[in-house]
Structures are given as C-alpha cells and as structure tokens.
Amino acid sequence: MNAVNWLHLEFIRLIFLFFIYYFLSIQVKQGKLKVNYSRKIIHFAHIVSPLLVNRTFFDYSMDYFIKSGLTTLIFPLIFIDPIRKKVSILDTLFYAFDRPEDRPHTVRLAFTQQAAMYFILIGMAFVYQYMGLSLDLLAVPLLITAFGDGLAEPIGVRFGKNTYRVSALFTNKTYTRSYEGSSMVLLASFFTLIVLRSYFSLNQLVLLIIYMPFKMTIIEAYAPHTWDNPFLYLVGGLLVLIVKVLV
C-alpha cells in the first residue's frame, strides 16, 4: 500500500468525521437533537467509512484495516479532560456523544468499545481471508450493526412504548429495552441478508434468515452497556462464517 495514498485518504476520512461531529454537536448543544441520536450517527460513520475506503481504493487490504483501526482507536483519546479543556473546539465536539448515563466515563467507554470493535473486525478479516471467504461478507454484521443498533436506541427513545428489562452480560445491572427498538435489529438483519443474498447459496440464505435476525436481536438486548457493537460484530461474523463453511 502506498503510504502517501493511505495518509491522504485517512486525512480526508478524518476531516469528514470532524464535520459530522461538529454539525451534530451544534445540534445537540442547541437542543435540536438528542445525543442518543447523534452518537448513533457517529457510530455509523465510524463503522462504514473505513470499510468503504478499503473496498473502494485498496480492494480490502489487511494493511489498511490495521492502520485505519489504529487511527480510529486514537480518535476518542483527543477528548480526554486535559486536552479537551485546552482546545475549545474539542469541548464542543464532545457534545455529540456525551450521554448523561455514560458520565463521567464517556471517553473510557468510547475508547474500549472502539478497541473491541476493531480487534474483532481485523480478527474476522484474517479468519475470512484464511478460509478463502470474500471479505465482502464482513458487510453483513457491519450493516446489521450500523442500521440495526444505530436505529434501536433512537426508535426506542422516540417510539418505545412496550418495554422489557434485561440483565446485561457480565454485570448485575439491569436495563430497560423496548420491543420497538429491538425490532430494528430484527428488521435490519433480515433486509441486510436479502440485499446481500448473492453472496449465499439458497440453503445458506434460508438458514441465516431463520437464525441470524433473532440471534442478533438477543445479542443487542443483552450486550453490556456501550459494548453492543463488538458483540454484534463477533456473533454476526461467526454466524456467517459457520454457515459459509458448513453448508
């Protein structure tokens, strides 16, 4: 991979993310947008942008996966208190993902989730490549996570009338979910599989449609706080792998 090309593309991607952060933070600061919505838009941008760059310019280079992952890992660290208090623009951008329920651990939670997401993504890419599978298949868990989890919280906040409580994995805390929000993961899983059906045989597609939407919905509901994305990546990636190898 040409280092200059990589740096140019990463610079453009980060500038793109900066403007998304800035626009959303102003909307949140002015009370025009809930932070629950803005942080999901940010998650979507972080998830999709490196995949699009990699597929478009490098045809899935493992080198780029690793480098863009490291760039994304560093990104949340610019929002730690000592830096944020000295750079006012960062304090403004912080509004875009600083949920009240995450305070005072917002940066730590963002960093650990990003780290887990990219370790799993890179690990899955290595496994898929080793098994001779198309890396386009990574789009399945990524799109389900981006649209399903991305819409679950906003829809739940806005329209969630029918709720249920769950105990998140590895913790004694319980959280309130809504059936309306959880249904977004179910629907996103189903439609993602339909859109990407050309990557599967008929038997593989049928099995995934039967199992994957429900598995992904359950994982999103029971995943630890702020760690739903890494769990969705892992479970979704493994389900696709198992079906492609065994069926």
Summarised one tens digit per residue, pLDDT across range 136-160 is 999 999 889 888 877 877 787 778 7
As a whole-number percent, the residues of the chain with pLDDT over 70 amount to 94
246: Cα within 13 Å, side-chain hemisphere:
8
pTM (predicted TM-score): 0.83
Per-residue confidence (pLDDT) for residue 172, from 0 to 100: 66
pLDDT 10s digits, 73-89: 888 888 988 898 889 89
Residue in 14, 4, 10 with CA at minimum distance from that of residue 53 = 10
* Chain mean position to CA 236: 12
Query: Beta partners for 175?
Result: 166
